[in-house]
Amino acid sequence: MKRMFFSLMAMVCMLTLSAQSIYDFKVKDDVGKDVSLSDYKGKVLLIVNTATRCGFTPQYKELEALYEKYRSEGLEILDFPCNQFGQQAPGTIEEIHQFCSANFDIQFPQFDKIEVNGANEHPLYTWLKAQKGFAGFDVNDQRGKMMDGMLRKQDADYDKKSDIKWNFTKFLVSRDGRVLKRYESTDKMTDIEADICMEVNPVLSSIMARRSIRKYLDKPVEHEKLEVIVKCGINAPSGMNRQPWVVRVVEDQKLIADVTEVYKQENAEQVKRDKDFKNMFRNAPNLICVCTPANGGGELDAGLLGENIMLAAQSMGLGTCCLGGPVRFLLSNEKCKFFLDRLDIPADYKLNYIIAIGYPDEQPDAKPRDTSKVKYIK
């Protein structure tokens, strides 16, 4: 029996490991037909395991309200009934669908019953749990405290496992297939809606999804895309429309390689320790160099330009990273004069910062933000 269990678990792991993204999975709909999740590319997904006889079952009403509100903006809610928690989804999928239609008039897609934990768990859920583990219930909330107490009686270490804890656990997935957040049954629907609102809005989603990228594919950015991105940059606001900036876009791979050789000579030990080192600009294939007046001023305007550039790049599937260290090296080393000469910076301007840009080869998580630094004066 144990051998069979471990064999099944191994098979699930193999299937999951072979999946590179959520779009590699197939599920069965409510009539048993295979559905590829690649059908949902470009959509914002809220994936939820449900039950019809649970204290959280009224969440169906809130989920349907979210669906009606944001469906036209690209939201899809994927409903997977599951009978693993308190045997609270006992009926057939036909009976479950009839119940949900009659009581909540749900319009979002409902799929066949599955298991989300254990030897028979669906590979989709193995993958989802690997992306976002259990982060805990809010024990300051009455329902969260109740769930924590109930589950801790069953398993004192329940919170150390990524398993789904109860019905109506939810995963929010971005338009490009990244699992953004996991919500437990007790999490407030208003908080979930706020996250959905940010994700379905293309401007807000670009702002919230942008990360500093420090690993890039060996693939230069197309000239046409760079033109669009820089055009977005110079459309940034500036005081009295002075536009106190000069922008230089480096596409010359040899120029980047040549100045990197100077860097390698000066920083041999550091380069030796970095097995992935390709160039001194975080291995980015292209650079956007931003210059400001040499006598000072213009830094605020140039910062707004840079933010426009980075958000435009993000919206086009590109990664960026604002670099200061390489600028200091270029300005302090006489051997780098050939690089600065090629930039052809006007005499009354100076190099302020460089934006590394390219196709990302990583998807880093967001770093925590200190919301205590924000106060609303009412």
- Has residue 30 been placed in a domain? yes
Q: Are 213 and 319 in contact (CB under 8 A)?
A: yes
State mean pLDDT over 314-323: 96
Q: Among 180, 209, 238, give the residue marking a domain's end.
A: 209
User: Closest by alpha carbon to 264, among 250, 287, 331, 256?
Assistant: 256
Q: Among 181, 209, 237, give the residue marking a domain's end.
A: 209
5 — pLDDT class (breaks 50, 70, 90): very low
Phi-psi label, residue 74: left if phi above 0, alpha if psi -120 to 50, beta otherwise: left
Angle between helices 189-200 and 202-209 in degrees, nearest 10: 100
Q: How far is residue 134's CA from residue 139's CA, in Å, rounded to a whole number? A: 14
What is the per-residue pLDDT for 6? 45
- Has residue 216 been placed in a domain? no
Q: Which structural domain, as residue segments, surrounds residue 45?
A: 2-209
Cβ atoms within 10 Å of 71's Cβ, excluding its own: 15
Tell me, yes or no, whether 27 and 159 share the same domain.
yes
Structural domains in the chain (count): 2
The pLDDT > 70 percentage for the chain reads 95
Tell me, yes or no, whether 48 and 163 share the same domain.
yes
Q: Among 209, 235, 269, give the residue marking a domain's end.
A: 209
Check pLDDT > 70 for residue 162: yes
3-state SS class at 205: helix
What is the per-residue pLDDT for 85? 97
Tell me, yes or no, whether 240 and 340 share the same domain.
yes
- Has residue 316 been placed in a domain? yes
Tell me, yes or no, whether 196 and 259 share the same domain.
no
What is the per-residue pLDDT for 365? 86
CATH of the domain at 42: 3.40.30.10
- Has residue 278 been placed in a domain? yes
Tell me, yes or no, whether 205 and 233 share the same domain.
no
What is the per-residue pLDDT for 196? 96
Tell me, yes or no, whether 37 and 59 share the same domain.
yes
- Has residue 217 been placed in a domain? no
Tokens 């059908």 appear where?
Answer: 39
- Has residue 218 been placed in a domain? no
pLDDT digits over 11-29, tens only?
555 545 455 799 999 999 9
Biggest CA–CA distance in the chain, Å, is: 79
What is the per-residue pLDDT for 205? 87
Q: Is 151 exposed, middle or buried (0-12, 13-18, 19+ CB in 10 A)?
A: middle
Average model confidence (pLDDT) for the chain? 94
Tell me, yes or no, whether 146 and 22 share the same domain.
yes
What is the per-residue pLDDT for 231? 98
Tell me, yes or no, whether 39 and 178 share the same domain.
yes
Tell me, yes or no, whether 11 and 153 share the same domain.
yes
CATH of the domain at 290: 3.40.109.10
Q: How far is residue 80's CA from residue 113's CA, in Å, rounded to a whole number? A: 6
Q: Are 200 and 73 in contact (CB under 8 A)?
A: yes
Pull the structure tokens for residue 137: 């219930």
pLDDT digits over 114-143, tens only?
999 999 999 999 999 999 999 999 999 999
Residues with a catalytic annotation lie at 54
pLDDT digits over 62-78, tens only?
999 999 999 999 999 99
Amino acid identity, residue 103? Answer: N
Tell me, yes or no, whether 276 and 148 share the same domain.
no
101 — pLDDT class (breaks 50, 70, 90): very high
State mean pLDDT over 27-42: 96
- Has residue 144 been placed in a domain? yes
What is the per-residue pLDDT for 50? 98
Tell me, yes or no, whether 263 and 205 share the same domain.
no
Tell me, yes or no, whether 176 and 317 share the same domain.
no
- Has residue 78 been placed in a domain? yes
